[in-house]
Chains A and B, each alone.
Chain A
Amino acid sequence: MSFYDSLFDSLGLQDWCSNEAKAGPMTMAELLAKSKSSTVTEETSLWNMPFPSLDNLHGACNSIPRTRDMTSGVEQLFLNVKSSLQFVLDPLTQPLSWLLDGSIWLFVATPWWLLIGLTLLTVQRVTRSKGATLLTAITWFFLAFIDHYSYAVQTMAIIFVCTGISVLLGVPIGIAMSKYDRFQKGVIPILDMLQTLPSFVYLIPLIFLFSVTESKLYGIAIIMYAIVPVIRLTDLGIRLVDKDIIEGANAFGMSARQKLFNVELPLALPNIMAGINQTIMMSLAMVVIASLVSAPGLGVLVLRGINNLELGVGLVSGFCIVILAILLDRVSKATLARIDVSQSNT
């Protein structure tokens, strides 16, 4: 006997309630109740009225599903759409796996002196800042010296690919958002969700969809997490372009395309670059977590530190991640500063 029995009786629903046989395994609460019911008769006062939750209502009426029926329903739903989702998503995302595996292979296969040399050259050309180049050199030599070079290189390869794809997808989405208010209204809640979801949570559906051994699994997780700032700041940057300058462009008869490429994107570039900086930092944060789903790199060492209680391994690799983060931040900020300068100060 349950508290809500009288409710269903008075509604005249006993028939509907009892006509379905009890299905599924018993819950722990039911087991307990069963063992108790013989000895204790529950007092039905207002004071100890249980909350009318699914489980409690189920006690009075079998037709009402239990909470565990609901969770298994969600799971079932997911499993049902899985094959068709996979059919579409698998080939679509396959290039991501190739790209990740390819670039990790390439980064690792390149001799260390060549890779470090090329990195330094690129940093110098992009930032034109001696400080940033020096920092890069020190970081790389330190990482290599303590034998974390190959892990760091894998991490960098993943960040490189994921940031690249985030920019490739994020900038056009940001542009579309800045042009269409309706689209912006629709996208912003999704971005909010991607940004607030604990990073672990959206590994879950991905694990269902793809096999854990595939690189695209962590690739997608990183991109979904890191793409948000570049989208937001592209949208913001274009919306912030001085209205007078846009009016000037219109007055001289520029087409939408000419305006976008000659006026809006160049003027939004400092904001877009700030977004890319954020995207890089978030990729780094995620690539560590993604080691849970077989992403190679420094995160693997951190994970080993946790799993095997190898405190030293975990701490040192954690420190390596920190200096890598500082490096990436400095270099992308130096690039940003150079763009700002060429626009307004020189």
Chain B
Amino acid sequence: MTANIKISIKKLYKIFGPEPEMALQHVKNGIEKPDLLEQYGHVLGLKDINIDMLDGQITVIMGLSGSGKSTLIRHFNRLIEPTDGQILIDGINVMDLSDEELRKMRQSDMSMVFQNFALLPHKTVLENAGTALRVRGISAEEADIEAKKWLDRVGLTGFEGHYPHQLSGGMQQRVGIARALTSNSAVMLMDEAFSALDPLIRNDMQDLLLALQKELHKTIIFISHDLDEALKLADHLVILKDGEVIQQGEPQHILLNPCDPYIESFVSEINRVRVLRVRSVMQPLLDKALDTAGSVDVNATLEDVISQSGGDTNKVYLVKKEDEAVGTICMKDLVRALVPRVPSQKEAITA
């Protein structure tokens, strides 16, 4: 892939406490999070974060609660000031911006969707959706036209005059998304945007986001504590633990090659048959004469293949990418990939 790097985080540190500079030295000398809290009374928020986010991709940052996800995403638009490090957006260091420039950036280059919606309760849905434009000083009529367009797009036609509290959680978050889209910014920050919603609604919202992304190609930073959600949305997955990145990369790759017991325990909970895709399990095309039982798409899930095979584990399928054969997948490999590597097995192998 040759997409440009849109956002680049370099050596980012964040320490909460009265004297972060002092604590930073200790952290750089290798003190651990619990010791820092105990000995110096400072909370280590983020430690040596390095992430490159590509233009037009969805980067999902995943971790358990308290792992520093919200802290990290608030650095992108400087709602939180870093203790050390760089945040480059299109090559410009966000730290160098003046207050005025920072506000300009928040108004037009970055929009944000919040876990608890953060809509203005005293403004109508239409006014809320047009927030970004109104803040920029664009006339109310123009803002309303643009806001109406995006409200229609997220399926809220007819609710323009309602107030947020009159809507369900899912609908309120649609307003949140419409508000972010109306700003027409290239970057969207979403902090656990769907975590407060019911599972079914959450699924709808994920589909909506993917559908929107297909035509809009925004750079989306999505925070989640749910691996299923992360795998569904992510082009690039970053796993955070106690303020540190412990693994990042292509989600399917992380799923098949977890590098840390923490990730393994996460990964073992996952419904792999729905998440893993043919391309992650297939073998390169070696023997054209191989007797194949049919063909499957490179992006099909393993579940699709199993249902196509009718449960027969002796079959081999040809994998096709837009009518071109790119590999083969045999059912034996497929079934083997369904069993997660558990930590105990791995130790037995290395021993």
CA distance A253 to B122 in the complex (A): 19
Cβ of A23 within 8 Å of any chain B Cβ, yes or no, is no
Contacts of B106 in A (CB 8 A): 250-253
- Is there a chain B Cβ closer than 8 Å to A207's Cβ? no
A251 touches B79 (CB 8 A): yes
Cβ contact within 8 Å between B107 and A252:
yes
Q: Does A328 contact B (CB under 8 A)?
A: no
Please name all residues of chain B whose beta carbon is closer than 8 Å to the beta carbon of A245 when the two chains form the complex. 118-121
Minimum CB distance partner of A344 in chain B: B165
Cα separation A248 to B118 with both chains bound (whole Å): 6
Verify if A244 is at the interface (C-beta below 8 Å from B).
yes
Other-chain contact of B112, A248, A262, A342 (Cβ < 8 Å):
A248
B86 interface hit (Cβ, 8 Å)? no
Partner of B114, one of A248, A254, A342: A248
Q: How big is the B interface, by class? A: 20 to 34
B103 and A346 contact, CB distance less than 8 A? no
Q: Which of A249, A251, A342, A346 contacts B77 (CB 8 A)?
A: A251
Is A318 positioned at the interface, with any CB of B under 8 Å from its CB? no
A254: B residues at CB distance < 8 A = 103, 135
Question: Is A252 touching B120 in the complex (CB atoms < 8 A)?
Answer: no
Question: In this assembly, does B163 line the interface, its C-beta being within 8 Å of a C-beta of chain A?
Answer: yes
Report which of B121, B135, B163 forms a contact with A253, defined as CB distance below 8 A.
B135
Chain B residue nearest to A246 (CB atoms) is B118
Contacts of B132 in A (CB 8 A): 252-253
| A263 near B120: Cβ-Cβ < 8 Å | yes
* Cβ contacts under 8 Å, A344 to chain B: 121, 165
Interface status of B64 (Cβ within 8 A of chain A): no
The complex places the Cα of A342 from the Cα of B121 at a distance, in Å, of 10
Known contacts: A252-B111, A253-B105. The answer to whether A244 contacts B116 by CB under 8 A is yes
Tell me the nearest residue of chain A to B112, going by C-beta.
A251
A339, B47: Cα distance in complex, Å: 47
Instruction: State whether A262 and B120 are in contact (beta carbons under 8 Å apart), knowing that A252-B135, A253-B105 are contacts in the complex.
Output: yes
Give A244 to B165 CA distance when docked, in angstroms: 15
Asked, given contacts A263-B120, A266-B122, A343-B121, whether A253 binds B107 with beta carbons under 8 Å apart, the answer is yes
Q: Does B67 contact A (CB under 8 A)?
A: no
- Give the distance in Å from the alpha carbon of A248 to the alpha carbon of B173 in the complex: 13
* B81-108 contacts to A (CB < 8 Å): 102-108
Q: Does B248 contact A (CB under 8 A)?
A: no
**In the bound complex, how far is the Cα of B293 from the Cα of A204, in angstroms?**
104
Complex: A238 Cα to B24 Cα, angstroms: 34
**In this assembly, does A255 line the interface, its C-beta being within 8 Å of a C-beta of chain B?**
yes
- Residues in chain A near residue B163, CB distance under 8 A: 346
**How far, in whole Å, are A249 and B107 apart by their CA atoms in the complex?**
10
- Closest partner residue, chain B, to A259 (CB atom): B135
**Chain B residues whose CB sits within 8 angstroms of the CB of A248 once the complex forms:** 112, 114, 118-120
Q: Interface on chain A toward B: helix, strand, loop, or mixed SS? A: helix
Report A-chain residues with C-beta under 8 Å of the C-beta of B59.
none
B253 to chain A, nearest CB (A): 32
Q: Which chain B residue has the least Cβ–Cβ distance from A244?
A: B118
Q: Are A250 and B79 in contact (CB under 8 A)?
A: yes
Query: B224 near A: Cβ within 8 Å?
Result: no
B 168-199 to A, binary, CB cutoff 8 A, 1 in contact else 0: 00000000000100010000010000000000
The residue in chain B whose Cβ has the minimal distance to the Cβ of A258 is B135
**CB 8 Å contact bits of B57-80 with A (1 = contact, 0 = none):** 000000000000000000001010
Question: Chain B CB within 10 Å — which of A244, A248, A251 has the most?
Answer: A251
- Taking the nearest CB of chain B, how far is it from the CB of A261, in angstroms? 12
A281 interfacial contact with B, CB 8 Å: no
Pairwise interchain contact B121-A252, C-beta atoms closer than 8 A: no
A262 (CB) vs chain B CBs: closest residue: B120
Q: Which residues of A contact B107 (CB under 8 A)?
A: 252-253
Inter-subunit contact B119/A253 (CB<8 Å): no
Asked whether any CB of chain B lies closer than 8 Å to the CB of A286, the reply is no
Asked if B8 is an interface residue, CB under 8 A from chain A, the answer is no
- CB of B131 closer than 8 Å to a CB of A: yes
Interface residues in A228-286 by Cβ distance below 8 A to B read 242, 244-245, 247-255, 258, 262-263, 266-267
**CA–CA, A312 to B104, complex, Å?**
70
Q: For A247, give its contact among B102, B104, B105, B114 (CB under 8 Å).
A: B114
CA distance A263 to B134 in the complex (A): 13
Give, as a whole number of angstroms, the nearest-CB distance from B122 to chain A. Answer: 5
CB-defined contacts of B131 to chain A, threshold 8 Å: 252
Centre residue among A244, A251, A252, A254 by max chain B CB count within 10 A: A252
- The complex places the Cα of A253 from the Cα of B110 at a distance, in Å, of 10
**Contacts A267-B122, A343-B121, A344-B165 known; A253 to B104 CB distance under 8 Å?**
yes
Taking CB as reference atom, which chain A residue is nearest B165? A344
Bound complex: CA A262 to CA B79 (Å): 19
Which residues on the B side are within 8 Å of A345 (C-beta)? 165
* A343 partner residues in chain B, CB cutoff 8 A: 121-122
Residues from chain B with Cβ under 8 Å of A252 in the complex: 106-107, 111-112, 131-132, 135, 179, 183
Could you list 29 examples of A-B contacts with CB < 8 Å?
A244-B114, A244-B118, A245-B120, A245-B121, A247-B79, A248-B114, A248-B120, A250-B79, A250-B106, A251-B77, A251-B79, A251-B110, A251-B112, A251-B118, A251-B189, A252-B107, A252-B111, A252-B131, A252-B132, A252-B135, A252-B183, A253-B103, A253-B104, A253-B106, A253-B132, A253-B136, A263-B120, A344-B165, A346-B163
6 additional A-B pairs beyond A250-B106, A251-B79, A252-B107, beta carbons within 8 Å, are: A245-B119, A247-B118, A248-B112, A251-B112, A254-B103, A255-B103
**Which residues of A approach B to under 8 Å, CB–CB?**
242, 244-245, 247-255, 258, 262-263, 266-267, 342-346
Q: Give the 8 A-B CB pairs with smallest separation, nearest first.
A: A248-B118, A253-B106, A253-B107, A251-B112, A253-B103, A244-B118, A266-B122, A252-B132
